[in-house]
Structure 1
């Protein structure tokens, strides 16, 4: 199965300099343009047969444009929502400094989820998606944190691994799982934005 991992376009939170996470901000005009460029590239180079997507606005809008361009169905999945950052969602970075960061993987930010809970949520939905093996190529449109967890799962990295995969606006990662191998075609490609 070929898997495209696609991050949403620029959102209003990016220009407001606030914590996003579960805060539900729409795309900006720039973000919508990024999405159209990404969708044209995906249609021409590696169109998916189905799209799995988070239900938060910035992703649902990104996935909807892609689905319309490619002509494939979308399955919206709440389990693909970004890390639940609880009380920090929507707060400015300055305001958020009042709240201590969890020191341990099992600790939660007030009203949120722990890093272990987040990773296990993404492991579970990834397993569910992979079990839908009737597709040759799928796209998962999601958030930077979710894509990080998906890649950590793909590479069998432990939950304690402190390693970050950069994901730009509408960045595309292209991986493949066969019966014999796991293949990384590329990670975080934003070549479509330079056109």
Structure 2
């Protein structure tokens, strides 16, 4: 099975400089242009047969554009939502400094989930997707934190957060699971944004 991991486009939270997580912000106009560029690349180079997506607006809209461009089915999964950062969600970076940040993997912001709980949630939905999908190539459209957990799961990495995988706006990672084992074709490909200075994410 081939697996595309795709991060959503730029969201309003990026402009407002606030913590996102479970805060449900929409894409910006720039983000929508990024998504259209990504969708055309995916359609041209490696179209999936089925798409799974987070239900949060920024990822849901990204996935819908991709599904419409390719013409393939889309299923939304609540378990693919970004880390539940509780009371931190929607706060400005300055406001959030007054919160006591979790230090240990089992700790959480009030009304949120711990890193361990987050990792287990993503491990569970990833396992279900891999077990139930009969398609040769699928796409999972989600968030930076979710994609990090998916990659840590793919690489059989420990629960610790010693490694971080950078994911730009509409970054694409291409994985494969076959008889020869696990294969990484590429990570965080944003070449579809390189021809337009306005669309580059960093």
Q: TM-score surpassing 0.5?
A: yes
Distance (whole Å) between structure 2 residues aligned to residue 46 and residue 115 of structure 1: 32
Which digits, 9 at most, give the CA deviation of each residue in 1:71-115, with x for residues without a partner?
001010000000000000000000001111111101111110000
Is 1:17 aligned with 2:17? yes
**Structure 1 unaligned runs (5+)?**
none
Task: Please name the residue that 1:140 is paired with.
Answer: 140
Equivalent residue runs for 1:13-162 within 5 Å: 13-162=13-162
Distance (whole Å) between structure 1 residues aligned to residue 100 and residue 68 of structure 2: 42
Distance (whole Å) between structure 1 residues aligned to residue 179 and residue 149 of structure 2: 22
Distance (whole Å) between structure 1 residues aligned to residue 71 and residue 132 of structure 2: 19
**Structure 2 unaligned runs (5+)?**
196-202
Q: Give the deviation of 1:166 after TM superposition.
A: 0.1
Which digits, 9 at most, give the CA deviation of each residue in 1:48-72, with x for residues without a partner?
0000000000000000000000000
Q: Give the deviation of 1:149 after TM superposition.
A: 0.1
Task: Please name the residue that 1:182 is paired with.
Answer: 182
TM-score (structure 2 length as normaliser) = 0.95
RMSD: 0.7
Distance (whole Å) between structure 1 residues aligned to residue 152 and residue 114 of structure 2: 16
Distance (whole Å) between structure 2 residues aligned to residue 21 and residue 134 of structure 1: 31
TM-score (structure 1 length as normaliser) = 0.99
Distance (whole Å) between structure 2 residues aligned to residue 5 and residue 172 of structure 1: 6
Q: Give the deviation of 1:161 after TM superposition.
A: 4.0
Is 1:6 aligned with 2:39? no
Q: Secondary structure at the match of 2:138?
A: strand
